[in-house]
Structure formats: structure tokens, C-alpha cells
Amino acid sequence: MQNLGSIYNSKEQYDSANYYWSEALNHIATSNYKNTYLHTAILNNLGTLKLALESYDSAIFLLRESLRIQESKEAVQPALHKTTLFNLAESYHWAGSYALADSIYTNLIQDLLDDIVHDFTYLSDNEKLAFYKNQLEFIESYKSFALSISGLIPLQDSAVPYINKETPGRLFDLQLTTKAIILNASKRMKNNILQSGDTTLIKIYNLWEERKNRLAQGLVDGKMPAKDLNNLKVKIEENEKWLAENSRSFRSGFQFEKVSWRQIQKSLKPKEAAVEIIRLVDGLLYGALIITPETTQQPVMSLVMSTKSKRLDKQFYKNYYNSITLQAEDTLSYKTYWQPIIDSIRSHMPKHKMPQRIYLSNDGIYNQLNLNTLRNPRNGKFVLEETDLVVVTNTKDILNPRTNSNRKGNQQAALFGRPQYSTDEDVAGKFTDLPGTGKEVELLSEALAMAKWQTQLFVAQDATEKNLKNLDEPTVLHLASHGFFTW
């Protein structure tokens, strides 16, 4: 009956799905399946169906009952628990109970962040990407809901709307953590450990991995006693502590440090700002989450909005792209993509002055824009001339002292140009030679030398992958070459 209900639901024959799932619940009430995983799954499925049919009261009743049973167990099944929380939050949302929806969403997002911090380190790079994609619906839905309780746009049908002033901070922290998922490269670090030749390190790492496997299986099947689960968690934490203390690779590749916007705010110097761009409502809106040294309560959230006829990631972007391609003057992109953000930043700077430096972490269409090249139509200046705009993959990066310093004592540049591509002529011949890139890096080297920089020049057969990987963190790395991606 559970499977029949699922089939009918997938075929959008909702009456039949409702019938079989309801019948399944009637049978479960007087059987050995009562309060089992199957029971909670069917309650969730039927509640989700009621949500889709806009029967919110029924959906809330069924989903709450599913949660009650799940949370009465020694350990919850993570995937089902998150799905039920999500469906309940959405039910409250569309029923107009914003405060209750916010409470459930808070639990859901906290569960998600806890999973990332405590369990995400065990996954391979491909598994991390799959994990992120599986959670994407939860994340995107929460972002849309957060917009409705932010107070920035009147989206609630109420004379006294529910507003949560902590929403910008929550969104900032969520953005910090979810972006770090993709950037955390554990596969390479695992290989480093296993190839280190340190038998003790390898032994403890393998023991840690085996215990993590057992814990994951125990949480999935729900058969491991709570005492054994807790003992296993303690042993895993002991392994992790030892590995973190004795292996740099483990610390950098496997430990996942949770960072909040407050830590970033404290690291900012006077006249600096940090901005996390966040994509909202399928790209119709973008939010700029802004913090400065003066931020005390919550980040400022500024909206960049599409118009009725032009979308930010379509028509407005096409105008930007065409202006570059045709080398035409672009009088629209600064006003569209940057003006709302810089105005908000300046309004929270001392005396509303232009910040000297802005750390910007992009999202969505902003990854395809070079904001530094946008020209302010009011004064004719480029963004590059108005402020030092530093693009980072994650504003968490500025906690690294090397990122947040001028490094005047270490002005070193590594320049690569006109590479040979391959020692195999058949491979190398597939790429067009770029003699201009050789001249490019030579001129750059001369200009930098005149400015008293130390330069390393790699051209032709010297412009190799090996030489690139052997660099010792130059201040500037310049690659003049073809570029391509493999998927």
C-alpha cells in the first residue's frame, strides 16, 4: 500500500495516493509496524500530499505526529527527519503561521549545519557535492521564507507581520557554511595521510574512518543501542582530536570549522566592509549581506531587484555582456548590480564615506560579472577607482591573516605565459599557440621589476604544471594561457 500510494502520487493521481496511504495507516495502527520507520514515512508522505493539496491543518497534524514518533526514538533517521521538518515548516508557512514556520525552519537549518560540521568531513568530494545538491531544496526554500520574514518586502498578508530581526545573520552564517562545502577538498588530504608512511597516523585514520562508517550505518538502520551509539561517538571524537593534533593534512582537509559572521566582523579593519551575495527567488532578487566594523546587531541586508520586464540574470546580464563584446559604453550595469550595494555600505560607514576596501563573495549571476570594470555614470569612475574591491570565494577567507594584509614586505609575482601544453606533440598541437601571452608576461615582469617587485617568469617549456605546484605562495599569480573545463 505504501508503494502503491507512492506510484499514484508520482502519476499525480492524488485521490488514489491518499486512499492507499490512509489505508496503510489504518493497518499500521493495530500491527507490529506501529511507531516504526515505515509508520513515520507514511505519515510524512501523506502530510506532504495534504500540503500539496493545500489542506494545511491536515498536513500539520500528520507531520507533527510523524515527528513525535521519530523523536521518541533513541536516534532519528537523518534524511527522513529533515524532510519531515521541511514539510512541516512549509505547511506552517503557507498556513500563515510565520512564527511557527520560523521555529521549525530554525531546527531544520541547525540540523543541516550540525550534519555539515560533524559528519560532512567523512564524505568524499563527490559525496559532498551530492550532499549539497540533496539539501539544496531545503536551503533555497529557507532563503525564500527568510525574505518574507526579513521585513524588506511586504510579503505577508497581515496588518501585523511577523519579523525576525536575526534573519540577516542567519542567512550570512548559512552562506558561509554551505559555500565551504564545495571548497573543502578532503580527497587530496586523505591521499596525503595514506601515503605519508606514518604507520601510527595511517592506523588511527583507518580506525576513525571505520568507526564513522559504523556510526553512519547505525543511524540509518536504527538498531544500534543508544549506549553503543554514544560510546562510538566518544571514540570518534578521540580519534579526531588525535588526528587534528598530529596531522596538518587532517586539520586542513577534514576538520570543518563553523564560522559566524561575528568572527568576520571582528577581523575587519577600519574603513573595510565584507559582503556575501545571496541568490533569492530563482534569481529574480539578490541580497547583499553587509558587515562593517560598525556592525553591532545584525548584518545589513540590501536587495538588488529585477524589474517587471528585465531579469538580473537574463536581460540585464545580456546588456552587460553585449557592452563588453561590442565595446560599447555601459551606463546601466553599475546602477543595476552595484549601486544598491555600495549605497547600503556607505550608509553604514563613518560619515557615509566610501570604504577603502570591500571583500566580496559572489553568488549566482554575480560570478559572471567583473564588478571592478563597471563605471559609475555619476562621476565616470570605475569601481576599481572608487574602492579596493577584493573578490573572495567565501568571506570566511578573510579570517586568514595573509588575505587581510597588504603584504608589502612580500611583493612577489609568478608569471606564466605561452605554455607548451604538453610534451606529447599530438596533445600540444590541439591548442593554438599564443605568442602574445609570452610577450604579455615579459612586459609585466619588466613593469613589476621597476616597481621593486620580485618576479619569477615561466615561459614556453618552463610554464609547466610542476613549476606551478612548486610555487611558495606568491603575492600575485598571473596565468596567460588557454583555459578549459572538464565535467
Q: What pLDDT digit, counting tens, does each position of 284-325 carry?
A: 999 999 999 999 889 999 999 999 899 999 999 999 999 988
Considering the domain architecture, whether residues 68 and 213 belong to the same structural domain is answered as no
The list of the chain residues with pLDDT below 70 reads: 116-130, 132, 180-189, 216-217, 219-223, 251-257, 401-410, 422-429, 485-487
DSSP 3-state of 345:
helix
- Tell me what percent of the residues of the chain surpass a pLDDT of 70: 87
Considering the domain architecture, whether residues 343 and 270 belong to the same structural domain is answered as yes
Candidates 288, 292, 271; CA nearest to 354 is: 271
Q: What is the 3-state secondary structure (H, E, C) of 387-441?
A: CEEEEECCHHHHHCCCCCCCCHHHCEEEEEEEECCCCCHHHHCCCCCCHHHHHHH
Tell whether 169 is covered by a domain: no
Tell whether 171 is covered by a domain: no
Q: pTM for this one?
A: 0.72
* pLDDT value for 120: 58
Contacts of 21 (CB under 8 A, 6+ apart): 1, 2, 5, 42, 45, 46, 49
Can you say how many angstroms the Cα of residue 70 is from the centroid of all Cα atoms in its chain?
A: 29
Considering the domain architecture, whether residues 153 and 294 belong to the same structural domain is answered as no
Considering the domain architecture, whether residues 273 and 225 belong to the same structural domain is answered as no
Which of 354, 381, 399 is a domain's end point? Answer: 399
Considering the domain architecture, whether residues 248 and 283 belong to the same structural domain is answered as no
Considering the domain architecture, whether residues 339 and 449 belong to the same structural domain is answered as no
Which of 226, 253, 280 is a domain's end point? Answer: 253
CB count within 10 Å of CB 402 equals 10
Domain holding 370, by residue range, is 261-399
Q: What is the CATH number of the domain that holds 9?
A: 1.25.40.10
Considering the domain architecture, whether residues 245 and 268 belong to the same structural domain is answered as no
* pLDDT value for 239: 86
Considering the domain architecture, whether residues 143 and 266 belong to the same structural domain is answered as no
Q: Are strands 388-392 and 412-419 parallel, antiparallel or unpaired?
A: unpaired
Q: What angle do CA 243, 246, 248 make, to 5 degrees?
A: 90
Yes or no: say if 423 and 378 are a contact pair by the CB < 8 Å rule. no
Tell whether 178 is covered by a domain: no
Considering the domain architecture, whether residues 441 and 363 belong to the same structural domain is answered as no
Radius of gyration, alpha carbons of the chain: 27
Tell whether 486 is covered by a domain: no
Tell whether 141 is covered by a domain: yes
Tell whether 177 is covered by a domain: no
Number of separate domains in the chain: 4
Considering the domain architecture, whether residues 390 and 417 belong to the same structural domain is answered as no
Which of 399, 418, 435 is a domain's end point? Answer: 399
* pLDDT value for 405: 46
* pLDDT value for 186: 56
- Angstrom distance (rounded) from CA 22 to CA 1: 9
Considering the domain architecture, whether residues 11 and 141 belong to the same structural domain is answered as yes
Considering the domain architecture, whether residues 268 and 245 belong to the same structural domain is answered as no
Tell whether 279 is covered by a domain: yes
Tell whether 51 is covered by a domain: yes
CB count within 10 Å of CB 253 equals 20
